[in-house]
Each structure stands twice: as structure tokens, then as C-alpha cells.
């Protein structure tokens, strides 16, 4: 604030705030400022860090590579909630955003770096049919933050990290599919996003398995 106030001083005499900002911007004055704050480490190493855990259940069609997220349970430590509804909304939105990165959003570019699938027809963001069928979100109680306002913590996009539970659940299902297909239970590389093509290739089921009895 002090940086911006100093830059605006030449434009503020006898003017309203909006007019001073407009004139400064017109004159090419940089009206942005940044600062990095690192909170002192406590016994818990990072007193402001947010923590969470997740359990996911998925259904994988090993013949088509389709994934359905049956159930997700999330538990987040966000200190004392100033507005629990906002925190839960952030958790839900962040997790679904990450679910798109994990399952459907396959960015493709050509040799020049131009995106090949720039429309929603070919670049698939999560829809209502992609969210978990059962989606449970809980906030850990009685854990005030020693560094936050009123004991709270920022929710932000921390829940993105919890989507790893979906990845690991899908991979466990593929392990089972590979065993059934006679490919053994050894480790295998599985890149993201987990598109049907990648999952079909990972399972390695023979074409004969696609025949309906």
C-alpha cells in the first residue's frame, strides 16, 4: 500500500481517488505491487499450512477405459471457519477442477505450440455427469490456526492436491484388470490425464475380450 500511495501522490492533489488512479494509469505508472510474506516457523513447522485427506472410490470399465467416480470423502483442516459455506464451496470447486485435469482435460498442441483442441467439443472440462456420485466434504473441528485471522485459514485451491486419491484408485483398478488380462501385477507407468485411450492401453485387454457373450 505504501508503494502505491507514493506513486499516486503526484496525481492526488484536488482529485478523487478514481480520477487519480485513471490519470496515473494514463501516464503509464505501474499500479501493481507485490510482497512475499513468510510466517515464522513454529513447532508444527508451518503454522499456516492447510492439511487435508481424501478417500475415493471409482468404477473403471477396463474394456472401454471409462471412469466413473462413485464416491469421494474429503476432510480439510481450515482452522476456525469464518464462513463454512464459502470454505466448502472452495473445497468442492477446487477438487472438481483438479478432477478435470486428472480425467478429461487432455491438452494437445502441434509442433509450433498451437492448441489443437481449443473448443469444448474436443477439450472436455468436467460436467455435472463427471462429479462424484456421492461427494462428502467435512471440515475438521476444533483446530484454530495460530496465525490466521480469528483462527481461520485461507481455503483457496489446496484441495486440488487431494485428487491424487482418484488417480491411485483408478490405478488400483487397472492393476486388477491387468492381472485378469494376464499381464501380471508389476508396476507400470500411467500418465495423466486418465483418458479412455490411456486406460485401455494400460489394461491391455485383447480384442477378443470386447466380444459380448
List the catalytic residue out of 38, 134, 141, 157: 157
Residue of 104, 84, 82, 103 whose CA lies nearest to 92: 84
**Is 157 in the active site?**
yes
3-state secondary structure of 16: coil
CB 74 within 8 A of CB 88: no
pLDDT digits (tens, 9 = 90+) for 86-106: 999 999 999 999 999 999 999
Residue 91, exposed/middle/buried by CB under 10 A (0-12, 13-18, 19+)?
A: buried
Mean pLDDT over 4-19 rounds to: 90
pLDDT digits (tens, 9 = 90+) for 152-210: 887 778 889 999 999 999 999 999 999 988 888 899 999 999 999 999 999 987 777 66
How big, in percent rounded to 5, are the helix, strand and coil portions of the chain?
35, 15, 50
Beta carbons within 8 Å of 110's beta carbon, 6+ residues apart: 116
Q: pTM of the entire structure?
A: 0.74
Give the Cα-Cα-Cα angle 57, 58, 64 (nearest 5 degrees). Answer: 170
Amino acid at each position: 500500500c505504501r508503494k502505491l500511495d507514493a506513486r499516486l501522490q503526484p496525481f492526488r492533489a484536488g482529485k478523487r481517488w478514481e480520477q487519480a488512479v485513471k490519470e496515473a494509469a494514463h501516464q503509464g505508472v505501474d499500479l501493481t505491487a507485490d510482497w512475499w510474506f513468510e510466517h515464522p516457523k513454529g513447532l508444527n513447522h508451518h503454522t499456516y499450512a492447510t492439511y487435508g485427506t481424501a478417500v475415493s472410490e471409482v468404477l473403471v470399465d477396463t474394456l472401454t477405459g471409462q471412469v466413473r467416480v462413485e464416491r469421494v470423502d474429503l476432510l480439510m483442516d481450515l482452522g476456525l471457519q469464518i464462513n463454512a459455506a464459502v470454505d466448502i464451496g472452495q473445497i468442492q470447486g477446487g477438487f472438481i477442477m483438479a478432477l478435470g485435469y486428472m480425467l478429461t482435460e487432455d491438452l494437445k498442441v502441434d509442433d509450433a505450440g498451437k492448441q489443437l483442441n481449443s473448443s469444448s467439443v474436443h477439450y472436455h472440462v468436467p460436467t455435472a455427469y463427471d462429479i462424484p456420485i456421492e461427494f462428502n466434504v467435512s471440515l475438521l473441528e476444533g483446530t484454530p490456526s495460530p496465525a490466521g485471522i480469528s483462527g481461520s485459514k485461507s481455503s483457496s485451491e489446496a484441495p486440488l492436491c487431494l485428487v491424487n486419491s482418484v488417480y491411485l484408485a483408478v490405478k488400483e483398478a487397472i492393476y486388477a484388470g491387468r492381472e485378469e488380462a494376464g499381464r501380471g501385477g508389476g508396476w507400470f507407468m500411467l500418465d495423466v490425464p486418465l483418458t479412455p485411450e490411456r486406460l485401455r492401453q494400460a489394461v491391455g485387454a485383447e480384442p477378443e475380450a470386447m466380444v459380448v457373450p
